[in-house]
Amino acid sequence: MALAYKGIEVERTQQIPFGAPPEYVAKSPLSKIPCWEEGDLVLPDSSVILSYLEHRHPDPPLLPAEPGPRARALWFEEYADTKVAETLAFVFFQRVVRPSVFKQEPDVEAIERVLQKSLPEVLDYLTGRLGNDEYMVGGRFSLADIALTSPFVNFAIAGEKVDAGRWPEIAAYVERIHGLPCYAPIVAGDMPQR
């Protein structure tokens, strides 16, 4: 998303992180994706990659210039990378990755626990932070919106969506961000063709 927004062209290589070959683990020692490679520069971790890209390609910016809003956007990126991922990506992992990569059944009880407890915690928190704003930080599109709404693509692929009756602001927010011109084609391309 950040690449699309900033208009950065890259060559993509597919890598399944689980059981990745030693050549990949040498570059990304936590054996996670993504990993950025540019000449001698090898950077694992999306937060680090995005920090690099923001300095290397500052225009258009994905972080506010003012220290407070900038730090808030970074906080939301961290929250997305931890709590939101543990919640939404967990459901994706169980329903999509486990059967396809590990040939195992999803842990239905664990999914239910996450949907009943962790998901409402995330959506209540985000509702409180967003209020009636269009974007999460500083009145304009930022890294916070990318980080927070991307896991909802995985969530949709896992067959789930935000209950718009209970969390109308977040349901509308996710739909709004996913519908942005730089975002919509990527979301459409990620959704399984039925």
Ligand X SMILES: N[C@@H](CCC(=O)N[C@@H](CS)C(=O)NCC(=O)O)C(=O)O
**Residue 34 vs 61, nearer CB to ligand X:** 34
Q: Would you count residue 45 as binding ligand X (CB under 6 A)? A: yes
**Count of residues interacting with ligand X (CB under 6 A):** 10
Interaction between residue 54 and ligand X (CB under 6 A)? no
4 closest CA partner among 187, 182, 192, 152: 182
Query: Measured on CA atoms in the order 183, 189, 192, 194, is the torsion positive or negative?
Result: positive
> Closest CB to ligand X among 20 and 180?
20
Decide: 136 and 145 in contact? Cβ < 8 Å: yes
Report the C-alpha gap between 144 and 171 in whole angstroms. 16
CB of 128 to ligand X, least distance (A): 24
Three-state DSSP state, 36 = strand
CB of 18 to ligand X, least distance (A): 6
15 binds ligand X (CB under 6 A): no
The reply on whether position 106 binds ligand X by CB under 6 A is no
Question: Segment near ligand X (CB under 6 A), from 2-10, 42-50, 120-128, 138-146?
Answer: 42-50
32 binds ligand X, rule: CB under 6 A: yes
Query: Could you tell me which residues are beta bridge partners of residue 41?
Result: 38
Q: Give residue 155's identity as a one-letter amino acid code.
A: F
Q: Is 27 in the site for ligand X (CB under 6 A)?
A: no
Q: In the chain, what is the straight-line distance between the N-terminal and C-terminal CA atoms, in Å?
A: 24
Question: Applying CB under 6 A, does 81 fall inside the site for ligand X?
Answer: yes
Rounded CA-CA distance 27/41 in Å is 10
Residues that bind ligand X (CB under 6 A): 17-18, 31-34, 45-47, 81
